[in-house]
Amino acid sequence: MTQNSELKTPIPYGRQHITEADIAAVVETLQSDFLTQGPKVAEFEQAFARYVGAKYAVAVSNGTAALHLCALALGVNEETRVITTPITFVASANCIRYCGGTVEFADIDPKTALLDVANVRAMLESKPKGYYHGLIPVDFAGAPVNLEDFRKLADEFGLWIIEDACHAPGGYFTDSKGNKQLCGNGAYADLAIFSFHPVKHIATGEGGMITTNDEKLYQELLKLRTHGITRDPALLEENHGGWYMEMQELGYNYRIPDMLCALGLSQLSRADEGLARRKQIALQYDEAFRNYEGIEVLGTDAAALSSDGETGHAYHLYVIKVQDRKGLYDFLREHNIFAQVHYIPAHTMPYYRNLGYKKGDFPEAELYYSQCLSLPMYPTLTSEEQEFVIAKVKEFVK
């Protein structure tokens, strides 16, 4: 492909990669005894828990259901106040609203677009202890949050942490002892959640996962995922016989079918490959855009680099910042490159504005939003396609 030739098919910002092995895994499950509530669910959970280094995993119908169950398991109610970032998918905040709790935002660190721990501390210190109950930091774009820092705050102020790790399976930060801490490993957060939407690293169509090292929360999540029902003889209040089960609290049907878990298992077996390719693509973009006038590459927290120079960034997104973002977005679209904007700040959405937030509340998030653009980033993006993207971005910016 030459620099001036045009694309026949559009390049999206992200897309799934489905192989023959993936298809075979789904077909095999379709022909098995269980379409749902079968053996593939636990198999996927165990493999995923191993992948992120957590003790327990609970597979659910999507990432939003995962967030909702986390909020329920932690006892979020009308009295609960939780702090999260405005630069995230709205589901990170909505899970608290589902339970009637109050969402408060704290502004981002402009260098990384991650929730700024100093801003969170200032908010916590401005209120009596006990005023806030939880934190939901997000590994935005695949850049791992330094959860060791957030844990210190959480311990000091008596808070729980849900890590929204949808962008970061396989990502890690390096803690103060020099240890790699995988996103979702449960070492610092009480719970972590992932999504298997097709734009994410591991795709099952719809699907989600919760990981934790806390056995009590794990047992609670299992129950809440399926109507609040348990059949475990050890947990029953009465027992009338083999058919007996109890609905012990108000749960939901947030189960994921076995076909999707089979697909997830097959995808998970290639996760490292996909992640390595994402890092390669990021390196190519870095070479093209770092030190290029008019383009700023979204930075990475120092904790995402380990002492061997490896990066723990999981590169769900590759974000650049430019002055004329709308101009660049439209120009790329004319050339069949479908870049995307992540994210419109949550507090500026009509729903959150109706709850009292307004434009101007979080200036760093809003400045970031006015300049950011996510370029195509997915393992099957070819080098030729990437060169085309780079050439078109430079053509517009120069």
Ligand X SMILES: *Cc1c(COP(=O)(O)O)cnc(C)c1O
- From 102-110, 111-119, 159-167, 233-241, span contacting ligand X (CB under 6 A): 159-167
Tokens of 76: 């979020």
Of the pair 89, 368, the CB lying nearest ligand X is at 89
Helix H or strand E encompassing 160: strand 160-164
274/397 Cα distance (integer angstroms): 30
Q: DSSP letter for 183, please.
A: T
CB of 176 to ligand X, least distance (A): 26
CB of 232 to ligand X, least distance (A): 28
- The DSSP secondary structure of 126-154, one letter per residue, reads TS-TTS--EEE-B-GGGPPP-HHHHHHHH
Among 92, 204, 267, 300, binds ligand X (CB under 6 A): 92
**Residue 215: which of 95, 66, 57, 67 has the closest Cα?**
57
**167 touches ligand X (CB under 6 A):** yes
Among 91, 191, 281, 295, binds ligand X (CB under 6 A): 91
**257 touches ligand X (CB under 6 A):** no
CB of 167 to ligand X, least distance (A): 6
Q: DSSP letter for 101, please.
A: P
Of the pair 138, 259, the CB lying nearest ligand X is at 138
Among 115, 135, 166, 375, binds ligand X (CB under 6 A): 166
Return the sign of the alpha-carbon dihedral for residues 371, 174, 85, 226: positive
**170 touches ligand X (CB under 6 A):** no
CB of 204 to ligand X, least distance (A): 9
Site string for ligand X, 171-210 (x = CB under 6 A): ------------------------x-x----------x--
Count residues near ligand X (CB under 6 A): 14
Residues 370-384: b if buried by 16+ CB within 10 A, e if exposed: ebbbbbbbbbebeee
178/174 Cα distance (integer angstroms): 6
Catalytic residues: 200
Dihedrals φ, ψ of 115, to 5°?
-50, 130
Task: Calculate Rg over the CA atoms of the chain.
Answer: 22
201/277 Cα distance (integer angstroms): 11
**89 touches ligand X (CB under 6 A):** yes
**144 touches ligand X (CB under 6 A):** no
**Nearest-CB residue for ligand X:** 63
- C-alpha angle 186-192-194 in degrees, rounded to nearest 5: 130
| Helical segments of 300-382, H only | 325-334, 350-354, 363-371
List the interface residues with ligand X, window 375-394 (CB under 6 A). none
CB of 171 to ligand X, least distance (A): 13
CB of 141 to ligand X, least distance (A): 9
Of the pair 64, 374, the CB lying nearest ligand X is at 64
Q: Could you tell me if 29 and 355 are in contact, meaning their C-beta atoms sit under 8 angstroms apart?
A: no
CB of 93 to ligand X, least distance (A): 10
First to last CA, the chain: 22
**138 touches ligand X (CB under 6 A):** yes
Of the pair 149, 163, the CB lying nearest ligand X is at 163
Tokens of 127: 């209120």
Site string for ligand X, 33-72 (x = CB under 6 A): -----------------------------xxx--------
Of the pair 147, 393, the CB lying nearest ligand X is at 147
Site string for ligand X, 272-311 (x = CB under 6 A): ----------------------------------------
**374 touches ligand X (CB under 6 A):** no
Residues 167-193: b if buried by 16+ CB within 10 A, e if exposed: bbbbbbbbbeeeebbbbbbbebbbbbb
**Residues binding ligand X (CB under 6 A):** 62-64, 88-89, 91-92, 138, 164, 166-167, 195, 197, 208
